[in-house]
Amino acid sequence: MGADLDALAHTILKDNDLGGYTIPTKGLYPYQWNWDSVFVAIGFATFDLNRAWQEIENLFEGQWDDGMVPHILFRKNDPSYFPGPSVWGTKSEPFPTSGHSQPPVAATAVRDLFEQSSAPENADRAKALFPKLMAWHRWWATCRDPKGHGTVAIVHPWESGRDNLPDWDEPLSNVDTTGVPEYTRKDTSHVDPDMRPLKKDYDRYMAILAIGKACGWDAAEVVEKTPFLVADPAITMILLRANRDLLVLADKLGFQNDKAEIEGWIAKQERGMDSLWNPEIKAYVTRNLRTDVLGTGVSSASFLASYAGLSDPKVIEPLNAHFDRIAGKVDFMLPSYDPDHAGFEHKRYWRGPIWAVVNYLAARGMTEAGEVARAEKIRQDTVRLVERSGFAEYFSPVDGSGAGGNSFSWTAAVWLAWAT
């Protein structure tokens, strides 16, 4: 079974490879997505290190002058996805892109690739990417944290990569959709609408997108004008971890002059995470920066604490208690949202389903922190899910069924890199 699945995972990555960059899945997502590509690189690294580097190098071809690396790279137009390049209306070169970013896992992957081989060419490729990573991380630390909270604020639910998380419901309720013109969704023609965000969510996504476009996607103006500005614990922790890996790279690659700046980001983001701790539920949650309202649910983001290098027992112990409670409630870990919360839906995208890439990040952090049993539970559940339902986009934590797109690149990639 394992060998067959390995072979299938290889085939999926190769089939979704459009020549130096990889799409998440055919039909539903026909472009290059930011964090998908990075996970794909980690998968490619198990059998083709050159191709792994190429995936990340190609992702950075879309980097903007201000340092931002967009969440979608529209290398060639494909009408099977909405909203496409003309809706975003960015002026990016050398090809159109979306107007905001996605979780910054790239520095961590670059460190992984760099440490995989001592060949001089490997160090050269890491050195070429280093300044680009610095520019992107600086963009997060400034453009997405203008008031210096030490947290990353997202300007659109899509920027989080966790599109319809119940925590976005409260901030989205302040978005006026009256001016949104008629549009036709494409996602619901590819997959069951019951597994996708609701129309009312999409209307709000389109309203926020229109505000970004009206700002010419100028980062400062978007942050000033968007009705949706929410500090996200997942991106903040992914960035904090990525900064730790960037610091190691700076040291090993000879970028000594950049170390103090990275250390400053790390210290600030460690402090910033305190502001995302909800003492009532004892978990890391979102904070609506427009209303100062904290999220009320335990999302899978909380289980990235060890991955981010946070180790205070006052945080880890309650999170472990949540983990054990949730593990007693569902057959498969990690649901993206607390099954005991009213917002939980086991098949609707980021309101409950399991995402293999989040499982990989959480388990990686737990292993590093010595939480081996919980990490192994996550890995074994991921194996059971793929054995049962294949390389689906995501899975129900209740019955293990696959949902969303099929032959999904990032599920295949983390299978090869970690689960198998």
Q: Which residues are catalytic?
A: 163, 393
Minimum Å distance from CB 361 to ligand 9WN? Answer: 13
Question: What DSSP designation does 194 have?
Answer: G
Determine the straight-line distance between the first and last CA of the chain, rounded to whole angstroms: 10
Segment interacting with ligand 9WN, rule: CB under 6 A, options 156-164, 216-224, 237-245, 246-254 = 156-164
Minimum Å distance from CB 395 to ligand 9WN? Answer: 14
Comparison of 25 and 278: residue with beta carbon closer to ligand 9WN: 25
**Pseudo-torsion of CA 312, 164, 189, 27, nearest 10°?**
-40
How far is the C-alpha of 159 from the C-alpha of 350, rounded, in Å? 13
Site string for ligand 9WN, 57-86 (x = CB under 6 A): --------------x---------------
Element (H, E) at 41: helix 34-44
Binding ligand 9WN by CB under 6 A: which of 62, 67, 161, 397? 161
Residue 166 near ligand 9WN by CB under 6 A: no
Minimum Å distance from CB 374 to ligand 9WN? Answer: 24
Please give the residues from 326 up to 365 whose contact with ligand 9WN meets the rule CB under 6 A: none
Segment interacting with ligand 9WN, rule: CB under 6 A, options 29-37, 88-96, 371-379, 383-391 = 29-37
- Extract long-range pairs of 207-215: CB within 8 Å, 24+ residues apart: 207/175, 207/176, 207/177, 207/179, 207/180, 208/155, 208/156, 208/157, 208/175, 209/83, 209/87, 209/88, 209/99, 209/156, 210/179, 210/180, 212/99, 212/100, 212/155, 212/156, 213/88, 213/89, 213/99
Comparison of 35 and 130: residue with beta carbon closer to ligand 9WN: 35
CB neighbour class for 317 (10 Å; exposed up to 12, middle 13-18, buried from 19): exposed
Comparison of 21 and 35: residue with beta carbon closer to ligand 9WN: 35
Comparison of 168 and 284: residue with beta carbon closer to ligand 9WN: 168
Residue 36 near ligand 9WN by CB under 6 A: yes
Comparison of 326 and 356: residue with beta carbon closer to ligand 9WN: 356
Residue 418 near ligand 9WN by CB under 6 A: no
How far is the C-alpha of 366 from the C-alpha of 418, rounded, in Å? 13
Residue 35 near ligand 9WN by CB under 6 A: yes
Element (H, E) at 394: strand 394-395
Question: What DSSP designation does 230 have?
Answer: E
How far is the C-alpha of 128 from the C-alpha of 336, rounded, in Å? 35
Strands (E), 257-322: 277-278, 283-284, 287-288
Binding ligand 9WN by CB under 6 A: which of 21, 29, 88, 168? 29
Residue 24 near ligand 9WN by CB under 6 A: yes
Binding ligand 9WN by CB under 6 A: which of 55, 163, 338, 371? 163
Binding ligand 9WN by CB under 6 A: which of 53, 74, 139, 158? 158
How far is the C-alpha of 82 from the C-alpha of 196, rounded, in Å? 14
Residue 328 half-sphere exposure, CB side, CA atoms within 13 Å?
Answer: 6
Minimum Å distance from CB 81 to ligand 9WN? Answer: 7
How far is the C-alpha of 316 from the C-alpha of 310, rounded, in Å? 8
Look up residue 217 and give its two tokens.
Answer: 């996607």
How far is the C-alpha of 304 from the C-alpha of 162, rounded, in Å? 14
Segment interacting with ligand 9WN, rule: CB under 6 A, options 11-19, 33-41, 62-70, 115-123 = 33-41
Comparison of 305 and 356: residue with beta carbon closer to ligand 9WN: 356
Minimum Å distance from CB 93 to ligand 9WN? Answer: 22
Minimum Å distance from CB 9 to ligand 9WN? Answer: 16
Strands (E), 13-88: 32-33, 72-73
Q: Which residues sit at the interface with ligand 9WN, rule CB under 6 A?
A: 24, 29, 33, 35-36, 71, 158, 161, 163, 187
